[in-house]
Amino acid sequence: MWVPIVLLVLAVLIVVGGIASYNRFVSQRNLVRDAWANIDTELRRRYDLIPNLVETVKGYASHEREVFENVTKARAAATAATGSPAEQAAAEGPLVSALRQLFAVAENYPDLKANQNFLALQAELSNTEDRLQTARRFYNANVRDYNRRVQSFPSKLIANWFGFKEEQFFEVEESLRGDAGVPRVDFGGEAPGVTFGGSTAGSAPAPSEGTPPPPPAPTS
């Protein structure tokens, strides 16, 4: 007598659990997509800043034609990379490397480093990089949680039945980025400097991770 009841209860529990697991997969997948949209927003903001930055540097170092061409080509490739996060990350590496070359050129021109338009563009780019890194960490954390459920039992059964696939992480390969890392601006010293990861191209010390730089000091 109790056997049919027990089986019925188990069946109900399995169905309810399956529905709950499915709904959780949907929520997590949407969260991953929303997090990726935040990354895309910050990338587009950075792409929009680069042409003005190039033109400003070109006004002081017009002979550095190869550097400007590298930045322009890398930006075009990154802008056109609308595929998977892995494909986007592969396009971002050369862009960061080209930007690093551009800032290295700027270090040779004191008048350029004192240009208010250049300083404002540097500050905005640095703030964009901070937001981008925050968005990247948030996205990767959600991908990690989502992929763990796709791979784990018994949620893996629901994933297989309803076609939930693992998502890709967004990571720029260190071999592409080089040792210098993402350009970061620091106005804390006697002269503005550009920091690449752990090294500083100017005289100022590197800012702490995740902390936006203070605004440039007003000119007299």
Does 6 reside within a domain? Answer: no
Per-residue pLDDT, averaged over 72-93, amounts to 88
2-58 helix and 65-80 helix, angle to the nearest 10 degrees: 160
Does 32 reside within a domain? Answer: yes
pLDDT of residue 192: 36
CA–CA gap between residue 101 and residue 145 (Å, rounded): 37
Handedness of CA 82, 86, 92, 94 (dihedral sign): negative
Task: Look at residues 124, 183, 184, 166 and name the one whose alpha carbon lies nearest to residue 28.
Answer: 166
Q: Print the domain residue range for 77.
A: 17-200
Does 179 reside within a domain? Answer: yes
> Mind listing the pLDDT tens digit for each residue in 33-70?
999 999 999 999 999 999 999 999 988 888 888 999 99
pTM over 0.85: no
Does 2 reside within a domain? Answer: no
* CATH number for 70: 1.20.1440.20
Does 5 reside within a domain? Answer: no
pLDDT of residue 61: 86
Longest Cα–Cα distance of the chain, Å, equals: 92
pLDDT band at 9 (very low <50, low <70, confident <90, very high): confident
CB-based contact 108:61 (threshold 8 Å)? yes
pLDDT band at 107 (very low <50, low <70, confident <90, very high): confident
Does 51 reside within a domain? Answer: yes
Our count of domains for the chain comes to 1
- Sheet harboring 193-196: ordered strands across? 183-186, 193-196, 199-200
Does 220 reside within a domain? Answer: no
Least confident of 76-90, 115-129, 185-199: 185-199
